Structure 1
Amino acid sequence: MAKKTVKDLDVKGKKVIVRADLNVPHKGSEITNDNRVKAAVPTLKYLVDNGAKVILMSHLGKVKTEEDKAKNDLGIVAPRLQELLPEATVKFCPVTRGAELEEMVAALQPGEILLMQNTRYEKGESKNDPELGQYWASLGDMFVEDAFGSVHRAHASTVGIPSNLPENALGFLVEKEVTMLGRAVDEPVSPFVAILGGAKVSDKIAVIENMLDKADKVIVGGGMAYTFMKAMGHEVGNSLLEEDKIELAKTIMAKGGDKLILPVDNVVADKFANDAEVKVVDRDIPEGWMGLDIGPKSIELFKETLQGAKTVVWNGPMGVFEMPNFAKGTLAVCEAISELPDAVTVIGGGDSAAAAIQLGFEDKFSHISTGGGASLEYMEGKVLPGIAIITEA
């Protein structure tokens, strides 16, 4: 999937619309984690250094009501962006269309960045309203897609704008995501091991099936493993269970055969709390107890399965890693992957990325994806509309 990148564009003196992912967690006007702002900097710096006039767009949170608008005002990001890009002048436009926005765009000088208000202030954004996409496109000369967290959505800002601006390209962040996920999922070096965790089988059905076609081994942990255990005829106590997915789990197990690696023991608790009474049991979980992590035998089995792997893709934690007593499985998987010599190791965003960062493994992987939903859909083998629309190189 060779797409044009920002380096293929002649941006000097041009108005370049950049769709970034500035959807930061925040309390009021205080940003509690600025990783997404930092991730946007390389592309913005390149454009500023090369004399572009940058019109920067992003969504922030969900916007359904006037209260949501007040809570998710993108203006909170502008000061942090200015700190991270001292060589640029960062301005903020509090509206998403109209005379004020158009005048601020017209006044832009090379090396300046105009951050526009939250794209979701416009109802037509998530519906990819053709008029809105056309209007936003009319503000610029070129478009750069750098919001990997949003490329799986066909919105006005991700698909509508580039549909109307033939001079378009990927930014550095999305380019890296496509390259690394492509290497891991589409062109893996064998042995290829996929590790899938998280709460529900229903969230990961397509990923499990796609990975069983591509990988040498598929390890399944986390809450969704209990549906498989029930499908094998084991008792799961009060563990997370999708009764309506038991037959599907049987079908997946039949298809997977010895490719599919499931936990052989569990860390169980008498309540969903870090201070719960805890014990380790094999596959049958007693009534009144719930599985909250994989057990020591499963950790050894998963480590053994990972031995010699040259490509590893991981999506979803092995247990309730937010509670220290149930983080051991996820921590052990992190360690085992991080110690593989010469392997391409990719975390597909979301909770597994949060776990790796929280547990101190941020620099130990080839790549940690910035988009949970987008990387999951990539692993399912789906087309990502925000990337598909970008001009081929």
Structure 2
Amino acid sequence: MLTKRSFKDLPLEGKKVLVRVDYNVPLDKEGNVTDDSRIKASFPTLQFLLEKKAKVILIAHLGRPKGQINAKYSLKPVVEPLKKLLNVPVSFAENCVGPTATDAVGQLKPGEVLLLENLRFHSEEEKAKADFGKELAKLADFFVQDAFGAVHRAHASTTLIPQHLESGAGDLLQKELEFLTKVRSNPTRPFLAILGGAKVSDKIGVVESLLNTVDSLFIGGAMAYTFLKAKGIETGESRVEEESVEFCKSVLKRAQEKNISLLLPADHLIVQDIEKTEQAKLTDNENIPSAWKGVDTGPKTSALIQPIISQAKTIFWNGPAGIFEVETYSKGTMDIAQKVAQVAKAGHTVVVGGGDSVSAVKKAGVANDITFISTGGGASLEFLEGKELPGVVALPDAN
């Protein structure tokens, strides 16, 4: 396994500890956090530091403010949920560098937490400017990387701080690497991957990589229509990436050569207008008539994949089977969520890889049953592709 030095191996007692967390959380119009799972995911690391009476300084980003100060992307709304979670004083500084940050750190007492304002209010963060990394490092004695959702980006807070401070991987980062390494390098078989979502082009690398490890692969969501087109099946007005059709043909061919069971939807829920849910109807087979578009998989597809899911000992799922946010179009995705949860409850490994699939298991009410839910969609896919994650590479190896 890819082992990096654990933050628990550092002498953190009473020290100032800078922690890169992933608090890129959704907010409603009033600026309230609508999903605090990423905040909760940082709890084990923060709890350990607070027990050590460390002075905890948190840095994070939210949204894409493009190097400009923008109140819409302030991290201030995270303070209240963080206080509730940790049950200790949490203060907030309106800058992450400069006198504002330095003064706030100076007032921090052992066993307290300080959250600094959005790193991306400074363009130097995403440009990975050396001076900005040095400025951040000056705030503390040690650095803990715990933002798995950001380690695939080569930014100042992910790659430069470890050049100036003794560093270690936080609890969440270690867990992410442990479960994803198992999926990538040592899955208990049969190994099933379920891929969905909008675009084949976003997942070319991960499909290539999975063809070397999976026993079965189910492709749903809008991705499936490009694969069906590659097989010469009618896709109507469904979203098809013409530029990816040849790639899909090569995947189908290689899967056959490698004796991989590659499954595509056997039927669909279709509409002419996505807004008019009452007009939705099921197809008899995998063909979609002209002027209609697919929005979900149908019951024949659920029946097709059920035995494959039930027999799997390792499952990786990234991407929904349809437009599950709309109740009428959610059944295919909800069926998958329920079935993979049963596999996890039977003691097998089910890893849900970030993004919409996480929302799907929550909507299905089975999030607590899943073996591991990754906090980083992009990072988990890049890791499974075999890419090096810059924020992980920057950390020292375990002794």
Q: TM-score range by the shorter chain?
A: over 0.9
2:369 maps to which of 339, 364, 368 = 364
Q: Tell me, yes or no, if the aligned pair for 2:55 and 2:109 is still in contact at 8 Å.
A: yes
SS of 2:90's partner is strand
Matched, 1:98 2:98: yes
Shift in Å, 1:89: 2.3
In 1, distance between residues paired with 2:30 and 2:46? 26
**1:116 matched residue in structure 2:** 116
1:287 maps to which of 287, 290, 296 = 290
**2:33 matched residue in structure 1:** 31
SS of 1:124's partner is helix
Q: Tell me, yes or no, if the aligned pair for 2:338 and 2:364 is still in contact at 8 Å.
A: no
Shift >4 Å, 4+ stretches? none
Q: How does 1:191-202 map to 2 (within 5 A)?
A: 191-202=190-201
Could you tell me which runs of 5 or more consecutive residues in structure 1 were left unpaired when the two chains were aligned. none
Matched, 1:151 2:133: no
Q: Tell me, yes or no, if the aligned pair for 1:266 and 1:280 is still in contact at 8 Å.
A: yes
Matched, 1:387 2:392: yes
Question: Aligned pair count?
Answer: 390
In 1, distance between residues paired with 2:124 and 2:67? 14
Shift in Å, 1:215: 0.8
**1:298 matched residue in structure 2:** 301
Identity between Structure 1 and Structure 2 (%): 43
In 2, distance between residues paired with 1:362 and 1:183? 20
**1:343 matched residue in structure 2:** 348
Shift in Å, 1:50: 0.4
* Deviation string, structure 1 residues 289-331 (Cα, Å, up to 9, x no partner): 1111122222111112223211110111111111222212112
* Deviation string, structure 1 residues 100-156 (Cα, Å, up to 9, x no partner): 222222332211212111101111001111111111112211110111111111111
Q: How does 1:174-185 map to 2 (within 5 A)?
A: 174-185=173-184
Deviation larger for 22-31 or 249-258: 22-31
**TM-score between both structures, scaled by the size of structure 2:** 0.94
**1:252 matched residue in structure 2:** 251
In 2, distance between residues paired with 1:10 and 1:132? 25
In 2, distance between residues paired with 1:103 and 1:339? 51
In 1, distance between residues paired with 2:37 and 2:342? 25
Shift in Å, 1:281: 3.0
Deviation larger for 266-275 or 109-118: 266-275
In 2, distance between residues paired with 1:382 and 1:129? 23
Q: Tell me, yes or no, if the aligned pair for 1:267 and 1:281 is still in contact at 8 Å.
A: no
In 2, distance between residues paired with 1:175 and 1:5? 8
In 2, distance between residues paired with 1:307 and 1:34? 31
**1:212 matched residue in structure 2:** 211
Q: 1:293 to 1:29 in 2, by over 3 A?
A: closer
In 2, distance between residues paired with 1:69 and 1:19? 21
SS of 1:54's partner is strand
In 2, distance between residues paired with 1:333 and 1:152? 28
Shift in Å, 1:65: 6.9
Could you tell me which runs of 5 or more consecutive residues in structure 2 were left unpaired when the two chains were aligned. none
Deviation larger for 1-10 or 123-132: 1-10
Q: Tell me, yes or no, if the aligned pair for 1:311 and 1:343 is still in contact at 8 Å.
A: yes
SS of 1:193's partner is strand
Q: Which amino acid aligns with 1:286?
A: P
Matched, 1:15 2:16: yes
Q: Tell me, yes or no, if the aligned pair for 2:193 and 2:217 is still in contact at 8 Å.
A: yes
SS of 1:30's partner is coil
**TM-score between both structures, scaled by the size of structure 1:** 0.95
Q: Tell me, yes or no, if the aligned pair for 2:50 and 2:56 is still in contact at 8 Å.
A: yes
**1:134 matched residue in structure 2:** 134
In 2, distance between residues paired with 1:300 and 1:60? 40
In 2, distance between residues paired with 1:101 and 1:279? 58
